[in-house]
Amino acid sequence: MAKLLAVLALVATAASPLVLRAAAQAEGLLPFAVGAAPAGCDIGVGEWVYDEAARPMYEEEACPYIQPHLTCQAHGRPDKSYQHWRWQPRGCDLPSFNATVMLEMLRGKRMLFVGDSLNREQYVSLLCLLHRAVPEGARSFETVDALSIFRAKNYDATIEFYWAPLLAESNSDDGAEHALDDRVIRGAPMDRHSRFWKGADVLVFNSYLWWITSSKIQILRGADNDLSKAMVEMEPEEAYRLVLHQVVRWLDTNMDPTKSRVFFVTASPTHTNSQLWGEEMEGGNCYGQKEPITDASYRGSTSRAMQRVTGEVLGAASARVPVGVVNVTQMSEYRRDAHTQVYRELWAPPTPEQLADPRSYADCTHWCLPGVPDAWNELLYWKLFFPAAGDQAL
């Protein structure tokens, strides 16, 4: 405990990354870790605490990276209560998120998020949490095709996002035009995407939402785009398992566990059926919700089968490249109140019928920023710098 307190003192004083890493090496910790979570601490188990003094950690209008479909206040949301909830892990005493410390620990490094629009939300949230610690003239942001890059020039660090909603190459890989009914993925290889992943010091994957929007997944064999070749139809869970195994094999071949870290963020839940949390009215969803669900036993509608696949594949992953699982699912299940609902930029004006029933066009998948994804980044911060003993998989 004395050694851990000494490391925490270094973090609190924003000591240099060399000092922090030297202290971590002395403790035999994972790369980037500067301490360890207390024994028995599961950061995904806890409760939401209303805290107007400490939340939000930034203002919507002060962060230039938030896309218009996530700016709920700018689009007329009448309440701000969803911004003031802080996640408190049960029985855990961990350091607060510190932007300067994180940037120091990422000095000279490349951090890459890979996944879908929920992963991009977490990425944008992290930029909002960090950008004020970087002088305006020392930061830049650009998006080229599927890759977005934030540069903190005075730290020689990049934090990036790469669009790959199914992780494998698919017909949904276009960053803008990807609203397709049928899902087609290439069974192998993963080179088109994975060539962008090489060289990352911290990798943060997610993939869930796009797997559950189709009853079947088409698997294209071979390395070309000849759709006339034999295609295999699979259940989403089995296709998901196939792709996760491919990701694990790629990690084993391409990542150095003595220098890098890999994380997988679990499913972000939706709130499309209010009867699941006890409302009697049919057709209800997240629209109009202003408070979290308080029933600790609530489990929502997130696919248990998909969660089981995640646990089985990552739990059996090679110990050579451990995958730290950032379990955001249950904590987010409680947050029926924090979705963008109708308070967002729309692709087209709502019809009179939709205006008559706002529930019909409420987005109960994505989250307002600031909001829930900020808490996901607190979990990522703790996992990266203060992993629990044996913190590798579900």
Residues 6+ away with beta carbon under 8 Å from 191? none
> CA-CA distances (angstroms) from residue 313 to 100, 198, 208, 268?
35, 22, 14, 19
Q: Beta strands of 244-289 (E only): which ranges?
A: 261-265
Catalytic member of 125, 170, 366, 374? 366
Catalytic annotation present for 140: no
Torsion, CA 17, CA 20, CA 22, CA 25, rounded to 10: -120
The 157-163 sheet, strands edge to edge: 139-144, 147-152, 157-163, 110-115, 202-206, 261-265, 323-326
Catalytic member of 116, 117, 148, 201? 117
Catalytic annotation present for 366: yes
Angstrom distance (rounded) from CA 33 to CA 219: 39
Catalytic member of 116, 173, 201, 363? 363
Angstrom distance (rounded) from CA 186 to CA 178: 16
Catalytic annotation present for 69: no
Task: Please give the single-letter amino acid code of residue 277.
Answer: W
- Both tokens of 110, joined, read 């490349």
Angstrom distance (rounded) from CA 243 to CA 184: 12
- DSSP-based three-state secondary structure for 350: coil
- In angstroms, how far is CA 387 from the centroid of its own chain? 17
Alpha helices in the chain (DSSP H): 2-12, 17-26, 99-105, 117-130, 191-197, 236-254, 304-315, 329-333, 352-356, 372-385
Active-site residue set: 117, 363, 366
